[in-house]
Amino acid sequence: MDQQPQPQRQHKGRPVWQPREPKADAGIGTHQATTANQNSSPKNRRHGKRAKKSVDNPSAAIETETSVEVEDVSSEPARQAEPAASNTVHLSETRFQDLVAQGVICPPTGRALKEEIGHEFLTLVQDRTILEILDGNDCLAQAKTGTGKTLGFLIPSIERLYRTCFKDPSARPVLPHANSVSILVISPTRELAQQITVEAEQLVKFLPFQVQCVIGGTNMTSEARRLNSEGQRCDILVATPGRLLDHLENSGTKAACANLKVLIFDEADRLLEEGFKREIDKIIAYLPPAKLSNRQTLLFSATIPPSVHQIAKTALLPNFKFITTIAEYESSTHEHVPQFHMVVDMCDLLHVSYSLVRKLFSVTPKPQLHPKIIFFFPTARATQLFAELLVAMLPTFAQPRPQIFEIHSRKSQSARTKATDAFRGIDNTVCGSILVSSDVSARGMDFPNVSHVIQVGAPSSREQYIHRLGRTARAGSAGVGILILAEFERFFLTRTLKDLNLTEYPGLQAFVNDQGNAGLVMQGLQNVSEETKSMAYAAWLGFYNSLLKEIRWRGGKDELVTEANRYAIGCLGCAVVPGISKKTVGKMGLKGVPGLTLVDDNARGGQRSMGNASSRGRGGESQSHGGRGGGGSGGRGGGRGGAGTMQNNGFAFAAKDDISTPATGGPNYGGGNYRGGESGSSSARGSAFSRGERGNGRGGRGRGGVGRGGAGGWTGN
């Protein structure tokens, strides 16, 4: 955009509920840009250049990342960074309590900021956005991750609602109807939506407003009951696109949004990516038109691609304000974080990753501060496998051993939330921690003090690489990024990231040649379930099948299958190539490709379902305890799948993390109408498929005369 920067905004003397007079030159059809003033705050000025990053010791790189005065260091060790600098790099000079004193924000919000959140100074993005939003302007705001975007839109939005309800401070407030939604925040991920909800609840602690959150993976009926309850307000609604659309269409939420005052798109670029844009268009269509309802719309994003410009034209009023706190002198995360690469043979990926972790935990980057690492993998099943492997390998780590957390789309929402909260709350001075994640936590999630982001396998795009990297070095703190690729993924380094100039990780060859660690990993893989390996294999096929054009294998899909089989045997430690269903092969377009071990769709048994290897029909998650019913030989599979300890039964082919790979359903779903396992008894007795010694697995004649599994079975441990 070609707008000129506006001068620094002043806060003095601003009354609480008198909006600023509109500017004479802010006419229809124009929008203005506000850019961070690099000289506006001494906290943001830096003297000299950045300290030189340590290339010889990436573990120590986070120690020297903060800017300091440059001196001749050729004959002395690198200086340590000033500890205070990393905590103030994105802060302005404006205090929240100054805004309270000036009447810009109400005392209850100021109290919450002080007592519940504990912030004293505004960040630059908050300093730029709060007044613009309070003026009632539609805004498109750009800011780097970790700079306070969430409070940047929540504080002024809540303040506008407060001013509407408390027009006369001496009178009783006039509150909207309990079910009326005044502020709607749309987030691309469940975890980010929950994070926003927590901050909103803290802000309204001393106000008569309430916050609700609706996201996928939870019970929609109970959500609808809460949304329509007279006893529970819904002034602020935080939602993911798919679930919000469900409620708009089916739960009466459309009527609840009739008097919507503020519509907020957080991580707007992600929301508008393929898969979300259709939902966003439908959601906007369900809401009252902005011009008729006097609704304010805000788009917040770390990047402003063409898709965001396009939605800005349709969702924002013509005189919207473009605000950016990324001035020309500032660098994005990927421009100031030390980044390293490791390109190895595919069969070395796991043991090199393990060796790297062992090294990072043997040399802590700061005295008494343990590493806090996020591993990213391209598929949910690869994430699951590496998490299981790390848990199996924990005895090989020195005390205090790191805590391991796992987040991906195949985990239940409650498990994801529990892991997210636990990882966020880890105290680095007590022990280290490792979060193994798919891309569900790649954007927007704020985890404090992440020391390393390690990406194993080619990310889906350059943008995704950068967003993952942005989980470290947030809000001015330091961090290191490491990218581990198989040889055939080198294209991502040489073509996709060619301008970033990643450095080869020092001592890489020593990791590759460490046969001791390689042997330990192979032993650890024996404790990883065969089902997990099988699903990781299928996910690998699906993911790299989508990258064939970029990889440019001469053998095409034949070579894809050859490499997949090598991955299964040489990397995952499988004794034989795992089977894959004909249906999955068809969905991947691999029908007729040699080298695949095909399995009939009616013969996929649960390999670790506390029964025989093929004791269940198309059910069974690893470690899913028991279940009702087995499956006869070729009959219709037994009953309903039981509630296991993980997400349980049933297969679907959906979700972006794993392309065309089995997705598990929730408890008590799935097994019912799928075909049973092929090892069921041909008689009416179900001993072969339900462990008759442990249950009442008597089957009736069933459909086809072969035997329908009874509801007995055994109920697990």
What are the start-end ranges of the E strands in 33-146?
Answer: 33-35, 91-95, 121-123, 139-142
CA distance 564 to 571: 10
Q: How far is CA 484 from CA 166, 375, 404, 506, 548, in A?
A: 56, 10, 20, 13, 19
pLDDT tens per residue across span 362-386: 875 556 689 999 999 999 999 999 9
pLDDT at 269: 80
| 272 DSSP assignment | T
Domains, the chain, ordered by start: 33-37+90-324 (3.40.50.300), 333-525 (3.40.50.300), 530-599 (no CATH), 600-717 (no CATH)
pLDDT at 696: 37
Q: Which amino acid is at 657?
A: D
- The answer to whether residues 609 and 642 touch, using CB atoms and an 8 Å cutoff, is no
pLDDT tens per residue across span 435-483: 999 987 656 577 888 999 999 999 988 888 988 998 887 766 778 999 9
| 476 DSSP assignment | G
pLDDT at 91: 82
> From edge to edge, which strands make up the β-sheet containing 262-265?
33-35, 321-324, 139-142, 296-301, 262-265, 183-186, 236-239, 211-214
Residues 6+ apart with CB under 8 A from 471: 145, 374, 441, 442, 445, 447, 450, 453
pLDDT at 203: 97
Task: Look at the block and give the residue holding tokens 């440019």.
Answer: 552
Q: Which of 353, 372, 375 is nearest to 521 (CA)?
A: 353
pLDDT at 677: 36
pLDDT at 529: 95
Q: Is the peptide bond before 400 cis (omega within 30 degrees of 0)?
A: yes
Q: How far is CA 116 from CA 110, 127, 201, 521, in A?
A: 10, 20, 10, 45
- Alpha-carbon torsion angle 87, 328, 296, 194, nearest 10: -40
Backbone angles phi, psi at 560, to 5 degrees: -55, -50
pLDDT at 57: 52
CA distance 710 to 605: 17
- Alpha-carbon torsion angle 136, 128, 481, 657, nearest 10: 0
Task: Look at the block and give the residue holding tokens 């939005």.
Answer: 157
Q: Which helix (H) or strand (E) holds 185?
A: strand 183-186
CA distance 60 to 154: 37
Residues 6+ apart with CB under 8 A from 636: 673, 675, 676, 702, 703, 704, 708
pLDDT at 463: 82
Q: Which of 591, 596, 588 is nearest to 564 (CA)?
A: 596
Stated pTM of the model = 0.53
CA distance 445 to 680: 47
pLDDT at 324: 82
Weakly modelled stretches of the chain, pLDDT under 70: 1-89, 145, 273-275, 326-335, 364-368, 441-444, 475-476, 602-717
Q: Which two tokens stand for residue 384?
A: 């699951």
Residues 6+ apart with CB under 8 A from 150: 195, 196, 199, 266
- The answer to whether residues 374 and 435 touch, using CB atoms and an 8 Å cutoff, is yes
Q: Which two tokens stand for residue 648?
A: 């349980």
